[in-house]
Structure 1
Amino acid sequence: MPSSHGSRPQTAHQASASPTARSHSSQATIHWAIVGGESGPHARPMEEAWALEIRNQCKKDGVAFFFKQWGGIRPKSGGRTLRGKEWNEYPPAEKRLAASAA
């Protein structure tokens, strides 16, 4: 699908966030935010308020939000629910298809 910027197809832009990346600012339009805590023996805890802040910003801006994990010693240690819900949103199919073709 051509974009308004010439003949290049639109691509899905993703932001993957961890506790070390407190905020994201970019000139690119973000279509997908993947949020999760660190895992492994030296994983640092992730605060719920931080994950909620990103989720709320995504909802406000119409960005797909995917909550990957709370983190811990093992990736599945803390589970995947944020306020009782699994967040498994993906960007629109046309943006995913354009990204895989790029």
Structure 2
Amino acid sequence: LKNKIISNLCSDLPDALWQMKRHMVSLPYEKELLAKKLIRPSKSPWSCAAFYFNKNSDIERDTPRLIINYKPLNTTLQIRRPIPNKKDLLKRLTDAKIF
């Protein structure tokens, strides 16, 4: 079930912005950051793709814009343990001696 959810969430979109190679900017210091262990490749199934995008205004300023694709995280999953209500918590604590 977990793999089905992840494969549905992270499915490839044919015209996705992060698939457009003409807007991609390579990071010359990516290997350096990996070597210093400041960043690491993610093994999490819930990781989000990050990429740089050059708009015309960003090209003039010579600063690419970092964009993170949060689409996989914006899904609704069932809550396994709902957050308790404040009144319910206070009822539990009324006769408690240790809390």
Pick the TM interval, shorter chain: under 0.3
**TM-score between both structures, scaled by the size of structure 1:** 0.21
**TM-score between both structures, scaled by the size of structure 2:** 0.22
- Specify the structure having the higher radius of gyration (Cα): 2
